[in-house]
Chains A and B, each alone.
Chain A
């Protein structure tokens, strides 16, 4: 069974600085997807970024980028120029690409990101 681990329960960063959130996962599959979701106090779950395992190039979305290390099974999220609106819980998630799986997302426990003004 696949597992996702986020070893940092809480992180803090000064506004405008850069922060990196860690995620490791365990799987025997070679084809899968990885995601970072953001959950602000409103509770809404918002997709931040997606990475396909077959792609070597790291995904980027504006100020958000990932460092995907497939051999190490590591998937970290870098937030550049941190803003107050980035304060939230961040969840790392894994999804199998195997056909006829239930396609569920396997989630880490989350990292609470605090932005200091």
Chain B
């Protein structure tokens, strides 16, 4: 357990509405990630952050934006939710080493988002 929480844990929303998911960590790790998990795809990276206000896109970033104004919080926003964004969303952190993030990532409990 790396002190990662996600909120909300479940959400149902309608197409076209904005949605923000929150990831909160208690251990001041520099690297944070947002993934989505869909059947048959494993996890796919949406966005990641390597420090406060330092973010970059992953392989499936279209339709998503992120913000990181504090070390402990990494927010994922769907500006206008679509049914294709129905998924389970995971936040992850990496502990920092001298040369960058160390080895493995640790994951939050996930958020199940349904867009109707």
Contacts and interface: CB of A to CB of B under 8 A. Distances in A.
A110 B101 contact: no
Interface in B36-51: 40-45, 48
A102 interface: yes
Nearest to A92: B42
Given A43-B88, A43-B110, A108 B42 contact: yes
B40 to A, nearest CB: 5
A108 B100 CA distance: 24
Contacts, number: 59
Interface in A30-77: 33, 35, 42-45, 47, 50, 52
A44 B94 contact: no
Given A43-B110, A44-B110, A104-B33, A35 B45 contact: no
Interface in B75-116: 88, 90, 92, 94, 99-101, 103-107, 109-110, 112
A52 B103 CA distance: 9
Contacts of A50: 103-104
A100 B99 CA distance: 9
Given A109-B41, A109-B42, A103 B101 contact: yes
Interface residues of B, number: 28
A93 B37 CA distance: 14
Greatest chain B CB density within 10 A among A35, A42, A110 is at A110
A104 B110 contact: no
B31 interface: yes
A47 B94 CA distance: 12
Interface of B: 31, 33, 35, 40-45, 48, 56, 58-59, 88, 90, 92, 94, 99-101, 103-107, 109-110, 112
Given A33-B104, A35-B104, 16 more contacts: A43-B88, A44-B107, A47-B104, A93-B43, A99-B99, A99-B100, A100-B100, A102-B45, A103-B31, A104-B45, A104-B48, A105-B35, A105-B92, A107-B41, A107-B42, A109-B42
